[in-house]
A and B are shown apart, each in its own frame.
Chain A
Amino acid sequence: MEIVMIILAGILIAAAVYLILSRSLLRVIIGTSILTHAVNLLLLSMGGLKEGAIPIYGKEIKRYVDPIPQALILTAIVISFAITAFILVLAFRSYKELGTDNLEEMRGVPDEQ
């Protein structure tokens, strides 16, 4: 099971890298959110995917799945959600201000002659 998950995470990371290397800002942002998905999936599978009940205490349950990666993923999801929201607003603002979403045209700091 872990092998399948790792391959899936690999495919997601490959897609994310491809999107991040493109010119359009929106595609780059989609790439970063796919990257966080891949990383969260990997965090889940690295904790081990053995059979077990959900980590809520019950008297008759013998085995639970590892609760720590779930807590870590929950934290990581919220953080990446906040940052994605911020960067989307930033993209919107920069589109209004600069009139482009092409990263090639965002020259930034002017070079000296």
Chain B
Amino acid sequence: MSNSLVLPIVIPAIISIILIFLGKQALTKRMVVFAGALITLVCASFNLWNVMQHGIQFLELGSWPVPYSITLTVDYLSAAFVFTSSLMMIFIIVYSYQSVSFERERYYYYSSLMFMLAGLNGAFSTGDIFNLFVFFEVFLMSSYVLMIIGGTKIQLQESIKYILVNVISSSFFVLAVAMLYSVVGSLNMADISVKLAQLGDHSIITICAILFIFVFATKAGMFPLYFWLPGAYYAPPIAILTIFGALLTKVGVYAIMRTYSLFFPTETVGNILLVLALLTIISGCIGALAYRDMKKIIIYNIMIAIGVIITGVSLLTVDGMLGAIYYVFHDIIIKAALFMLVGVIIRITGQTTFDKTGGLIKQYPLLGWTFFIAALSLAGIPPLSGFYGKYYIVKALFQEQHIIAAVIVLLSSLVVLYSVIRIFINVFWGKPGALIQHPPYMKMMVVSFLVTMLAVAFGFYADQLFPLFHQAAVTLTDTSEYTKILEVK
């Protein structure tokens, strides 16, 4: 019952409106957007602290009683997601200072960034299914703008495909909400959860579940619906690609976690998710091995990570969820770090494929070793951050007797490690390749270094995060605490 829950949504929206009026004053805009993101982060961390101290927080917008109003329901998972997205947005903003051209900055770049943050935070903290759709549209709309900004030929071609895919999947989202509304007659997620549990195992509920999986799998880039992802993410500049790769697909994952655990915790749905997730891992592995282009390799690594997370989610046990939660936060940080580092490499060498490069380690040792740590962390070498998530997921898979799934997850780590180490070996070792100019890259490097160190810290302090993530996993597997909001009145 505290109004502070709206702040991570409202502040970026207000800052975004202010930024529209600032027009062409590049320096002022940079300062305003940084201050705004910082305030958002402070509010988000206050909410996180509040949730950790006092349990799940609810806010009925407009003080209408629960099933009739739009509620913001911030549980442990949502609070952690809001905090992480606000934190990553700060890094991305500072990274954009040097990597995004002045031309792009002039055309409402930071304004779209802040609007996207508002949409993301809203999607993470809402407790209403139609409101989730609206926040999806908010951040998708800003992602369209970010994708097209600059207007090069490749961007035009790819963003048409991206927008068409998302328009169609949004239509199906409305369709799924309509079907769910006709079954239960409610839009509040806690209320729907209680009412669906009373209905029992109807086939119409499974159909609704498959519709929702279809929608969110398109947003997240899961197996049969990932076809838009490699092309669309290849087109925009690297700073924008970092936001997309680190945060945008994870909203789809979050929505799958939420709807699956609240609405359709049945075995049929779980099995569908498990099979799709494993196929996602396999197709991502094939892509990551096939290409010699650094951006494409990391893009296919996004898909592998999505597959691993959904594998953990599909089991709906505490261990599986715990692994998925550890892995999703690890992946947000490390994907951002890797995209940023690849951005620095592309900046220095002017090449996106690693064939014509080599021998960078002598001139750029810091970049080289940071990339090496990030690569090991991505693969999940024990003291680093990727380990805990995969450990819990594999443990849960063995407990549930899914031996083949566990083997696929473990083998995928090997492919991930090979694909990124291949970049490392080709770019940093060997004899110097194509001529290297020395463009300014120091600010980009500092941010990439900080994000990588954040990933390392995430690995070393995983123990301290355990209580939070454990409680998040427990609330996801046992939804009684989430639906408690209905009894408060």
Contact = CB atoms under 8 A, between A and B. Distances in A.
B187 interface: yes
A98 interface: yes
B159 A90 contact: yes
A4 interface: no
Given A69-B181, A83-B141, A109-B235, A20 B168 contact: yes
Contacts of B234: 108-109
B178 interface: yes
B156 interface: yes
Contacts of A107: 157
Which applies to chain B's interface (DSSP): helix, strand, loop or mixed? helix
B97 interface: no
B92 to A, nearest CB: 23
B167 interface: yes
A86 B174 contact: no
A81 to B, nearest CB: 12
A47 interface: yes
A68 B187 contact: yes
Which applies to chain A's interface (DSSP): helix, strand, loop or mixed? helix
Given A46-B179, A72-B177, A87 B157 contact: no
Contacts of A43: 174-175, 177-178, 181
A79 interface: yes
Interface string A40-58: 1011001110000000000
A30 B293 CA distance: 36
Contact of B178 (A39, A75, A93): A39
B418 interface: no
Contacts of B177: 43, 72
B179 to A, nearest CB: 6
B167 A87 contact: yes
Nearest to A43: B178
Nearest to B68: A68
Nearest to A82: B141
Contacts of B235: 108-109
A35 B168 contact: yes
A30 B130 CA distance: 25
B319 interface: no
B164 interface: yes
Given A39-B171, A42-B178, A90 B157 contact: no
A25, A69, A91, A112 interface centre (most CB from chain B within 10 Å): A112
Interface string A4-47: 00000000000000001000010010001001100110110011
Interface string B157-169: 1111101100110
Nearest to A84: B167
Nearest to B176: A39
Contacts of A79: 134, 137, 170
A65 interface: no
Interface string B139-166: 0010010001001011011111101100
B130, B157, B293 interface centre (most CB from chain A within 10 Å): B157
Interface residues of A, number: 36
Contacts of A97: 151, 153, 156
Interface string B20-45: 00000000000000000000000000
Contacts of A32: 164, 167-168, 171
A109 B181 contact: no
A86 B130 contact: no
Interface residues on B, range: 35 or more
Contacts of A46: 178-179, 181-182
Contact of B156 (A28, A36, A82, A93): A93
A109 B230 contact: yes
Contacts of B148: 90
A106 interface: yes
B461 interface: no
Nearest to A96: B156
B163 A87 contact: yes
B353 interface: yes
Contacts of A90: 148, 156, 159-160, 163
A81 B9 CA distance: 24
Nearest to A83: B167
A108 B181 contact: no
Contacts of A112: 291-293, 353
B231 interface: yes
Contacts of B182: 46-48
Contacts of B175: 39, 42-43
14 contacts: A35-B168, A43-B174, A43-B181, A48-B182, A72-B181, A83-B141, A83-B163, A86-B144, A90-B156, A97-B156, A98-B157, A106-B157, A108-B154, A112-B293
The 4 lowest CB-CB distance pairs between A and B, nearest first, are: A46-B182, A43-B178, A106-B157, A46-B178
